[in-house]
Amino acid sequence: MHETDIHDLSDDADYAAASQQGSSSINRSDTSKRSSSSDLEDAEIVYMKDNVAIHPTQSAIEGIGGRLKLLKQGSSLFMTWIPYKGQSSNARLSARDANLYTIRAVSFSGIHSIRRHTPTIGWQYVIVVLSTGLAYPPLYFYSGGVREFFATIKQHVLIVRSSENANVFLVNNFQDPLQRTLSSLELPRSLANRTPSSSFPDSPSEGNSDNKHTSEDDSSDSIQQYNKQRQKSQDPARDISIQVLEKFSLVTRFARETTSQLFRESLDAHGPNEKRRTNWETSANDVEIAPKKVPVPSDPLELDKLSKVWGQPRQHPLEHQEWSIFLDSEGRIVDPDALRMRVFYGGVEDNLRKEVWPFLLGYYSYDSTYAEREYAVSAKKSEYETIKNQWQSISVEQAKRFTKFRERNVLIEKDVVRTDRSLSFYEGDDNPDVRRMHDILLTYSFYNFDLGYCQGMSDLLSPILYIMKDESEAFWCFVYLLERLGPNFNRDQSGMHSQLFALSKLVELLDSPLHDYFKQNDCLNFFFCFRWILIQFKREFEYETTLRLWEVLWTHYPSEHLHLYVCVAILKRHRAKIMGEQMGFDTLLKFINELSGQIDLDPVLRDAEALCVYAGENGVASIPPGTPPSLSSQDASIYQQQDDEVL
């Protein structure tokens, strides 16, 4: 690839839809859906294209070039992509990284769809999605050949254009009736439509409209009630919206139960004599056998000792009296670094968060005065109302012709009524704060047309609205939070991919035996940490603990990527069980989900700090540039652009 061909992929709307999922996830796929290279030695090569590349990160200069083939064996069609040896376009990507993305003879009987994308500027690429919901990283055709690729496929398997998206082609070779059934079920969508009562214990119908609290004085009671409700529903698959976001890892207990139910319903139609048990179904007579433990390699860092040396003990939360010391007579923060360090080690008292959070998020500038903040809040309130009026003024007739608006509105309405409804602040029918959450999210979709609304955003907004109370201020704090976390919701999942990729590198740096174990068990995709990163551990802790964790992460001390070190710290605390019980991907994902509510935050933060300090520059080098969150808490402040604002 010539230097003139290099371009930045960070703005590519579909970059790495499955890069995020990583081809290591495909290596974990069912062996029944692929064949080894030796099995296909006699296969006919019906298509071959060189200079087809995968980009593990958002930069085009880190592409991995390779050769794409379509192989015909009997009546079956297979696809392979093998990276060139020693020809990575960047030294940061080792041969091991290249092998991580190798595609070894996947059968088209296991492919659900192929998406074609032709950007205005740049290379054409395709995304291959399996019937399980897993997807391969995008394959970039540096030298063209996409049309011939599809033409060859059409000669050997049935491929039809999707009625929902003209760039998506549905694949089914009709060789295997069971596989045809799987493809037609579209499991991710089935999961999204299934709403068992256990999944939404906090639905509005269960709320008590007579017990509504919104004052700050009732905050602690509200959180305690939320935590009690939460403890009653510790099923890791309790929130369908999060499961849909994790659709590429459909191996959770809920997904298995759903698939099992779908098969049972299909088999019931043929009578009881034709029923067969799938390999994941169990009966009442089945006995769960305790996993056999094996010797575990020792922790090379001896984390307990390391934390005592490099990790500092936690302090009491920042209180009003101490807070006043950080402010000068006009309201400026005297020492922003000292404030961030103080919040990192102790958090903030609940009734002070409304004042401190806007600074941590970048909504308030540290050098702003009381008067400047008062003026800016008023100006931003007017701006918020202007944006909000854009969708409020849409008539019914206009809405009929505005598909994107209708879709986003419906999705938001569905999500807000099942977000933290066991918290008294949001409970009850016709709750005005639930309505405010809806309005903020829909307004944000007009503020940021490109990103719009994605499931999971309501989880990030809920604590902010709970603390700020004011709709406009909550909106702008949410805006600044998504300046950092917005890439988590890119439809191509590039932001999530880069973070999972960096996490793999950090584990390799800080615990090579654990990394080797994950590699041997095809777990290097780190999908089991997906929920942690996507919504910043919100489902892993009680509500108050989540608030404390978030304000710690927002300090960007000692690293803007501290959340990745938190992931490493949690994994290291459970490394003995993970390796001792020889957990495979399925078991590991189930185990990680069931840690929800069982993690002690304070020691984990101390471990994470110690790991970050110990990693030093090597840790920084392990994280690709631009990996979210990559926005300094002092950047993009509303005060730095005030002179250019049109009020």
Mean pLDDT across the stretch 297-308? 83
Most confident region among 92-101, 157-166, 583-592 by mean pLDDT: 583-592
| Rounded Cα distance, 105 and 78, in Å | 5
The tokens describing 320, both together, are 């009003």
pLDDT given for residue 567 in this prediction: 98
Q: Helices (H), strands (E): how many in the chain?
A: 26, 9
Q: Which of 162-176, 408-422, 508-522, 590-604 has the weakest average pLDDT?
A: 162-176
pTM of the model: 0.62
pLDDT given for residue 309 in this prediction: 76
Q: What percentage of the chain carries pLDDT values higher than 90?
A: 52
pLDDT given for residue 132 in this prediction: 75
pLDDT given for residue 540 in this prediction: 96
Q: Are 166 and 115 in contact (CB under 8 A)?
A: no
Radius of gyration of the chain measured on its C-alpha atoms: 26
The confidence band for 322, taking pLDDT boundaries of 50, 70 and 90, is very high
Q: Which of 64-68, 325-329, 500-504 has the weakest average pLDDT?
A: 64-68
Q: Which of 56-70, 362-376, 415-429 has the weakest average pLDDT?
A: 56-70
pLDDT given for residue 386 in this prediction: 98
pLDDT digits (tens, 9 = 90+) for 200-259: 333 333 334 444 444 445 555 666 666 555 554 443 333 444 444 444 444 334 433 433
| Rounded Cα distance, 464 and 354, in Å | 9
Mean pLDDT across the stretch 570-583? 95
pLDDT given for residue 292 in this prediction: 66
Say whether pLDDT at 349 is over 80: yes
pLDDT given for residue 177 in this prediction: 37
Q: Which of 139-148, 293-302, 371-380, 561-570 has the weakest average pLDDT?
A: 293-302
The confidence band for 305, taking pLDDT boundaries of 50, 70 and 90, is confident
Q: Are 381 and 647 in contact (CB under 8 A)?
A: no
Q: Packing angle between helix 370-392 and helix 432-447, nearest 10 degrees?
A: 90
pLDDT given for residue 88 in this prediction: 54
CA-CA-CA-CA dihedral for 326, 330, 331, 335, to nearest 10: -40
Give, as one character, the DSSP assignment of residue 531: H
What angle is formed at CA 151 by the lines to CA 150 and CA 154, rounded to 5 degrees?
A: 85
